[in-house]
A and B are shown apart, each in its own frame.
Chain A
Amino acid sequence: MARRVVVTGIGILSSIGRNLPETLESVLRSRSGIGKLRYLNSPHQNEFPFAEVPFPNTALTELAQLSDSEGYSRNALLGLIAATEALQHARLHELPPLRTGLLSATTVGGMDTCERYYNDFLTNDSKNIYIDVYDCADSTEKIADHLSIRDYITTLSTACSSAANAILLGARLIRSGRLDRAVAGGTEALTSFHINGFNSLKILDKVPCRPFDVNRNGITLGEGAAYLILETEEAAHAGDRPIFAELSGFGNACEAFHQTASAPDGKGAYLAMERALKLNGTKPSEIDYINAHGTGTDNNDLAEGAAIERLFGEKIPLVSSTKPFTGHMTSAAGSAEAVLSILCLIHRMVLPNLNLETPMPELKFKPVTELIRDVDVNLVMSNSFGFGGNDTSLIFKKYNR
């Protein structure tokens, strides 16, 4: 029997809040973080809405409690703030250290900084301190240094499922006995690089994203970071701390269909969800709520919806995509949505799929459109699907001894 992996802390920073309490307040008030781009310079800033973290880097430096942020990308600042919150939420600083790892995810690393200084990189020495920020590992190592994590560190990048795979790896390292604790999640800063790239694919919606709506027309890019503290059950019982959830299932599959599109039947999504259920023998009917990947693209929502219908049959759980709150945080989406899923377990609620007016006629189920409170939520499935068909599904369960 593999060791049980539980969640003892969560941290999140996104367009809907600097921290956990602000995030909770935003979702309770159905307040979206999507709006006009203010801090990033992009030729597309008036063309599309974005879910930008509403602070410049100077304010993020203060939030990260850094005296000097020279050498830091926005990506690293966001990650450091959320990871620190998770650590404090789990009150790890009060406890003796155990074997701890940092598994962090990102899709373009410190591109936010590199794209700004690229011309300097090519022509002069004035920004040399930022050259290595290009590497995806840069933010991970800065976070590890600040949190004094040395036992195991690595960085994952599987496009929009990156942070979900970081959580999956953390769970596996704990189950195998290699680690007692893991800080797992992802960080992503909005970049012109991403905006241009997604625009070249013609999948950015000109209005705030509308997952599962018949008129959906693409994604809204967001940014931020979120981390979970995963521990063995035994380690979690030290120090009289609350256990917020058990990570009871995870599944990784590759759709192997197309580099950017999903197969219409959602094969990859189906396999990832099915594997997550199988891991600990969870029945589909036990899932109370699915926090869907639900990007708002024509393709994803159709494929994911089809996969959900095929896997869950007649008894489809409550479903919503929370991307209309946070935007699509790409590499950090998996951990941000894991945090929102865990908030649903803690606060006995199901979050609404904002911006949904007319449900897709192709699907039999209708996503939740109003916040549901005081509801039994024992098992939540959180889906993250990425380019290249890198699909991962996580299941969080209310913890019972």
Chain B
Amino acid sequence: MIRVPAYINGIGLISPQQTADPSLFLPEVMEYTTDFLTSVDPNYKAFIDPLAARRMSRLIKMGITAAKIALQDATPKPHEGDFLPSLASGSEATREGLGVGLDAIITGTGLGSVEDTEKILGRMTAGEQLMNPTPFIQSTYNTISSQIAIILQCHNYNSTYVHRSFSFESALQDALLQFEEGAAATALIGGIDEMTENHLKITRRAGHWKMGPVNNLNLLSYQTPGALAGEGSAYFLMASQITSTTYASLLDVQTIYKPEESLPMDEVITRFLSDNGLSPDQVDAVILGYNGDIRYDFLYDRLGSGIFREAQQVWYKHLCGEYYTSTGFALWLGANILKHQVIPVAVRFNNLNADRLQHILVYNQDRNINHSLLLLSRK
């Protein structure tokens, strides 16, 4: 296959950290003692027509806003500092030409709008009939991608992936394929999920989460089963052309479903790197999906003390929590590290001083079932 570069030219990230302004890279870290991490809401009115926003559930607003920030971030800025005020209502997006020339919109979401689904299930359980169709429409998984298309008036390729911790990866792989096919030169790719109190309560029964509040910055000290739940919305404007706003390039993405016992992950990773002309010692930093769940974190330890013992190890889920599309946060982190050539102290897992950061690998796994690899390279 022919490899076509995919440059990350703009990013919008709404997360439990102060990340909505792309001109800042983790200036400070938000500390929480909580049952689950919730995103810091940006001023949605600055991005979505308030009238339309009133009917939108939170996830839809998070999606549209992150998408708009990514597009704006990818637009070369003649005057630094005027980024926020110029982003106005939905209809203005097209006036600004934000969606012009966009060849694809692809979203990954593990759960879609949980809030809307719960509204319907709650009403049904109470024996009531649904009268207002809005929650049903918004609960449909493809609503985010199609709402963004409506606002941007983008008639091109549009799709949505909903496969647990492969959701965002599948969206990225689709985009890389689009570039390779020559079908797209620019694509808006997102990973988005939310957590609600109700969904936390239910999924705690399945054993996925810590059973009480934890301090996010001390996540690894608990040594208990379960992760800290979180959420976020990350959109990336990717293009086959490098620009003045480029952060980094995404070289390759791989998903591994239920890896065989006979093929350890370090071998899978070595092969993946070798397919991309690299060896493990050429990975300057590895972003690992540690989430504090002692049942599975050893999978990262193995790599950290194995093929990546010489690499700068980075972690991120203490900042955003665990969710199906958390690798959106990881991709934001990796792209910013490569752009700024700085690894913030808050995300360092070990302390090596890499003087030049060229390649970053993201490795994430979800309960040892869904594993994924994202390979990034400096601009």
Contacts and interface: CB of A to CB of B under 8 A. Distances in A.
B205 A128 contact: yes
Given A193-B120, A200-B130, A156 B162 contact: yes
Given A118-B125, A169-B174, A389-B149, A254 B156 contact: yes
Contact of A259 (B124, B131, B146, B201): B146
A378 interface: no
A152 B173 CA distance: 11
Given A153-B166, A153-B257, A157-B160, A192 B105 contact: no
Nearest to A145: B258
Contacts of B137: 197, 201, 259-260, 387
Contacts of B124: 115, 118, 192-193, 196
B115 to A, nearest CB: 14
A302 to B, nearest CB: 19
Contact of A131 (B162, B205, B257): B205
Interface centre among B136, B143, B147 (most CB of A within 10 A): B136
B142 A388 contact: yes
A131 B206 contact: yes
The contact size tier of chain A is: 35 or more
B166 A388 contact: no
B339 interface: no
Contacts of B180: 176
Contacts of B130: 196-197, 199-200
Given A193-B124, A254-B154, A257-B150, A150 B258 contact: yes
Given A156-B160, A165-B159, A271-B155, A201 B136 contact: yes
A255 interface: yes
A155 B163 contact: yes
B151 to A, nearest CB: 8
Nearest to B254: A152
A157 B167 CA distance: 11
A177 B150 contact: no
B161 A155 contact: yes
Given A140-B163, A154-B255, A201-B136, A196 B129 contact: yes
Interface stretch (A51-59, A119-127, A287-295, A347-355): A119-127
Given A132-B206, A137-B163, A256 B177 contact: no
A84 B1 CA distance: 31
B351 interface: no
Nearest to B121: A118
B262 interface: no
The contact size tier of chain B is: 35 or more
Contact of A390 (B133, B158, B162, B203): B158
A156 B156 CA distance: 17
B143 A255 contact: no
A153 B161 CA distance: 11
Contacts of A267: 155
Contact of A153 (B1, B120, B154, B163): B163
A254 B105 contact: yes
Nearest to B183: A172
B4 to A, nearest CB: 11
Contacts of A224: none
B124 to A, nearest CB: 6
Contacts of A253: 155-158
Give the 6 A-B residue pairs with the shortest CB-CB distance, closest first.
A388-B146, A197-B136, A254-B158, A157-B141, A136-B162, A155-B163
Interface of B: 1, 105, 110-112, 120-121, 124-125, 129-133, 136-137, 139-143, 145-147, 149-150, 152-164, 166, 170, 174, 177, 180-181, 198, 201-203, 205-206, 255, 257-258, 260, 369
Interface of A: 43, 106-107, 109, 114-115, 118-119, 121-122, 125, 128, 131-132, 134-137, 140-141, 144-145, 150, 152-159, 165, 169, 172-173, 175-178, 192-193, 196-201, 252-260, 267-268, 271, 386-390
10 contacts: A109-B162, A118-B121, A135-B162, A136-B163, A159-B141, A200-B129, A256-B149, A259-B150, A387-B137, A388-B150
